[in-house]
Amino acid sequence: MKQIAAEARVSLGTVSHVLNRTANVREPLRQRVLEAVAALGYQPSELARGLRREKTSMIGMVIPDITNPFFPAVVRGAEDVAFANGYRLVLCNTDNDHSKETAHLNALRAYRPAGLIVIPSNFSDLTTQAQSYREAGTSVVCVDRTPPHWNGDTVTVANEEGAYRATRHLIQLGHRRLATVVGPQHLTNAQQRLAGFKRAVRQAGLSVNPEYIQESTFDKLGGHAKAGVLLRLLPQPTAIFAGNDLIALGVLLALHDSGLRCPQDVSLIGFDDLDFAEMTNPQLSSVYQPGYQLGATAARLLLERVAGSINVARHLVLETELKIRQSTAPPPKSAQPIAAPRATRKRGPAASRRVRL
Amino acid sequence: MKQIAAEARVSLGTVSHVLNRTANVREPLRQRVLEAVAALGYQPSELARGLRREKTSMIGMVIPDITNPFFPAVVRGAEDVAFANGYRLVLCNTDNDHSKETAHLNALRAYRPAGLIVIPSNFSDLTTQAQSYREAGTSVVCVDRTPPHWNGDTVTVANEEGAYRATRHLIQLGHRRLATVVGPQHLTNAQQRLAGFKRAVRQAGLSVNPEYIQESTFDKLGGHAKAGVLLRLLPQPTAIFAGNDLIALGVLLALHDSGLRCPQDVSLIGFDDLDFAEMTNPQLSSVYQPGYQLGATAARLLLERVAGSINVARHLVLETELKIRQSTAPPPKSAQPIAAPRATRKRGPAASRRVRL
DNA sequence: TTGTAGGCGTTATCAG
DNA sequence: CTGATAACGCCTACAA
């Protein structure tokens, strides 16, 4: 800047003023400065600027794991609106480990980020952390899940409603023995999805069999294991709602393992609608979650707050969309009478059905 | 720091010394400082530190698109080793657009990053950019692809060899009419894969039919379109090597469109071995690329260079691994006799050999 | 409208 | 081994 000032024969302050539009500099001077800037290829130092202003234009983005196929879209959404507004994203993976999350959150502090977008880890301590961040003037918005006692901005999807619709879809197809492999119940989104499932089941006048509700981690392995449990139950469920697509994938595997066909023997619906939902065999019905919008909206919210206009906490809820593909169909004929007799009981519907083949 | 100095009754300089181990401070003083640090919950400002040192501990990570399923693993690998060494990753998506890449590269300069890890965009101007970065003391390592005239550090995979193995696998299955949908030939990795394909074909004594080589973008749509072209050719190829898994997915779709079965009618093999390769129907054979290692290695290289020990440019090449699944099988019987009748000569050695099978 | 000067939190140099 | 002190590059009262 000193060089520019010299080159343009003005003072340091004037250079700063034209650069930040912080004062009306007379046109000729302004031009000289701008020319000098161009000539010298000047790049303002965000470090010095941040030091002075006690705030940078970086946004900390703290997520469980970029390798989990749901998150890239969220990150991309956030990065796009951040970049468009002159902000940069610092990416941190927590692996859902709250101590790692805390470590990242602490380390980020050293950079005085303008804000934080975080998808809380399991047992996240975010509420406390965010408090201290806010005192330092950096806002935090929470995405996808909400940690305990959270009182700040929030962007989530309509988990309950999405799960409700998915389950209702199964019911409308004629299913009566509905099971679910839900995500970890300490996560708000997993809780909400279970709630939606239950609401649909109850509303159909069916009872919720606790054995038909299995809790799993949000991954393929968990889905596979818990589906195994479900499929050993008698009577066997004819439809399964999976807490997310990764779980659904595991369920699909378990179905194959058991020699059951999807959707002929058991219907399956997931949540997320990841890209691979169209690639499985059969193609997976799922509840679409607007991942990109989630991230983009979070960034927008954050920037508005950074701008300082908003003060009250806002909770945005984005809509989901039911994607019907091939993994959901009416229950097998044999499953319907089954309720009446009991001889078949022992072998379960799967076994008895196999006879037909 | 001033507070700490006061609290510990030492000077500012001493505080800095104990914090940075930049001088042997006598134990009692050291303790007092450390206590004060803990008591005040002191967090050093990376901004001030960066300002003074003219370098921060941030690493710019510039990639085409985090939403492309190959990149998350790379980013994760880089983030893990960066974080483990006290560095943070600033993520930038270029969408393979060199002007966007340049914009990001310029913007990043303002943060005086310690280094850059970049997967160059199409027509990247990285070589020039990196030069000016190096003059400012920040090193750049290039991952996955190499821009024109690149003379810096590089981490790639053995693309040529991987493609060669994939193609040889097809040949060993008995295929003689081998086609490929390769990636954009201005990208080094796509070039190398085509070279590997050609080498295998030639080595088998087959001729490379230019019509059997289609160039596409690295995505599903391109793969679908170009596969359509290939399948309209006569004689129809019996095996297709796809430049990456996304292309392979498109090819698979085209196969379905044409009522062709994979692998019974046409064999298909991809490159990357993304997660979804196991989910397609049939499961996709592919060449595994160590994405995580790519990123981790790049970060390691970068940090070594930042540490200042290394001066000569290094080019690391990671191995690929052939993953045989269900999309590759011997060619259909009907494809073999076809060669026998009349002028086998014209059709080349490949055709004549078909008789033997 | 323009210029001056102090200070943001660190590190590094140099003198004691 | 420790303590002053001068930058680092920028912003912003405040003065002119």
The tokens for B104 are 């990001």
- Kindly determine whether the C-beta of residue B26 is less than 7 Å away from any atom of nucleic acid strand C: no
Contacts of B92 in chain A (CB under 8 A): 79, 83, 88
- Which SS3 state, helix, strand or coil, does residue B142 take? strand
- Nearest nt (C1') to A27 (CA)? C1
pLDDT digits (tens, 9 = 90+) for A125-169: 999 999 999 988 899 999 999 999 999 999 999 999 999 999 999
Contacts of B279 in chain A (CB under 8 A): 249, 276, 279-281
Residues 202-241 of A with CB under 8 A from B: none
Say whether pLDDT at B346 is over 50.
no
Min Cα distance B272 → chain A (Å) is 15
The predicted pLDDT at position A353 comes to 35
Q: What secondary structure does DSSP assign to B5-23, as a single string? A: HHHHTS-HHHHHHHHHT-S
Say whether pLDDT at A48 is over 80.
yes
Alpha-carbon distance A336 to B351, whole Å?
58
- Nearest nt (C1') to A4 (CA)? D9
When scoring B19, B224, B279 by the number of chain A Cβ atoms within 10 A, the one with the most, hence best to mutate, is B279
Radius of gyration of chain B (CA): 27
- Kindly determine whether the C-beta of residue A34 is less than 7 Å away from any atom of nucleic acid strand C: no
Q: Does B56 touch chain A (CB under 8 A)?
A: yes
The predicted pLDDT at position A336 comes to 57
Residue with smallest Cα–C1' gap to D8 = B52
The predicted pLDDT at position B127 comes to 96
Say whether pLDDT at A345 is over 60.
no
Question: Å from A137 (CA) to D13 (C1')?
Answer: 22
Alpha-carbon distance A111 to A109, whole Å?
5
- Mean pLDDT over each residue of chain B, to the nearest integer: 91
Q: What is the mean pLDDT of residues B12-17?
A: 90
B93 and A110: CB-CB below 8 Å? no
Q: What secondary structure does DSSP assign to A16-48, as a single string? A: HHHHHT-S---HHHHHHHHHHHHHHT----HHH
Say whether pLDDT at A293 is over 90.
yes
- Kindly determine whether the C-beta of residue B136 is less than 7 Å away from any atom of nucleic acid strand C: no
Task: From residue B178, give the alpha-carbon distance in Å to each of B32, B184, B269, B350.
Answer: 74, 19, 11, 10
Alpha-carbon distance A66 to A89, whole Å?
13
The predicted pLDDT at position B97 comes to 96
- Kindly determine whether the C-beta of residue A52 is less than 7 Å away from any atom of nucleic acid strand C: yes
Q: Does A261 touch chain B (CB under 8 A)?
A: no
Say whether pLDDT at A344 is over 70.
no
- Which SS3 state, helix, strand or coil, does residue A160 take? helix
B111 and A88: CB-CB below 8 Å? yes
Min Cα distance B204 → chain A (Å) is 34
- Which SS3 state, helix, strand or coil, does residue A259 take? coil
Pair type for strands B285-288 and B321-323: antiparallel
Residue with smallest Cα–C1' gap to C7 = A52
Q: Which helix (H) or strand (E) holds B58?
A: strand B58-63
Say whether pLDDT at A237 is over 70.
yes
* Residue A287 or residue A1, greater confidence: A287
pLDDT digits (tens, 9 = 90+) for A121-136: 999 999 999 999 998 8
Q: Which nucleotides of C are covered by protein (CB under 7 A)?
A: 1-13
When scoring B1, B58, B91 by the number of chain A Cβ atoms within 10 A, the one with the most, hence best to mutate, is B91
pLDDT digits (tens, 9 = 90+) for B181-209: 999 999 999 999 999 999 999 999 999 99
Question: Å from A8 (CA) to D11 (C1')?
Answer: 19
Question: Å from A11 (CA) to C3 (C1')?
Answer: 6
Residue of A nearest to B77 (CA): A67
Residue with smallest Cα–C1' gap to D9 = A48
Question: Å from A131 (CA) to C5 (C1')?
Answer: 36
- Kindly determine whether the C-beta of residue A356 is less than 7 Å away from any atom of nucleic acid strand C: no
Q: Which of B66, B88, B108 sits opposite A66 (nearest CB)?
A: B66
Q: What is the mean pLDDT of residues A44-58?
A: 93
When scoring B70, B88, B256, B281 by the number of chain A Cβ atoms within 10 A, the one with the most, hence best to mutate, is B88
pLDDT over 90 percentage in chain A: 80
HSE-CB for B65 with a 13 A CA cutoff: 13
Long-range pairs, A3-8, Cβ under 8 A, ≥24: A3/A36, A3/A40, A3/A42, A4/A33, A4/A36, A4/A37, A4/A40, A4/A42, A7/A36, A7/A39, A7/A40, A8/A32, A8/A33, A8/A35, A8/A36
Say whether pLDDT at B347 is over 60.
no
When scoring A49, A56, A65, A66 by the number of chain B Cβ atoms within 10 A, the one with the most, hence best to mutate, is A66
Say whether pLDDT at A354 is over 50.
no
CB-to-strand D contacts below 7 angstroms: A 1, 12-13, 16-17, 19-20, 22, 42-45, 47-49, 51-53; B 9-14, 17, 23-26, 29-30, 48, 51-52, 54
Residue B102: CB atoms within 10 Å: 17
B88 and A90: CB-CB below 8 Å? yes
pLDDT over 70 percentage in chain B: 93
Q: What is the mean pLDDT of residues B38-61?
A: 92
A75 and B91: CB-CB below 8 Å? yes
Q: Which residue has the tokens 């193995």?
A: B165
Alpha-carbon distance A94 to A153, whole Å?
20
Residue of B nearest to A45 (CA): B110
Alpha-carbon distance B169 to B181, whole Å?
17
Contacts of A72 in chain B (CB under 8 A): 66-67, 69, 71-72
pLDDT digits (tens, 9 = 90+) for B113-157: 999 999 999 999 999 999 999 988 899 999 999 999 999 999 999
Task: Give the lowest-confidence range in A80-84, A190-194, B6-10, B264-268.
Answer: B6-10
Residue with smallest Cα–C1' gap to C6 = A52
For residue A111, which phi and psi values (nearest 5 degrees)? -100, 0
pTM, full prediction: 0.91
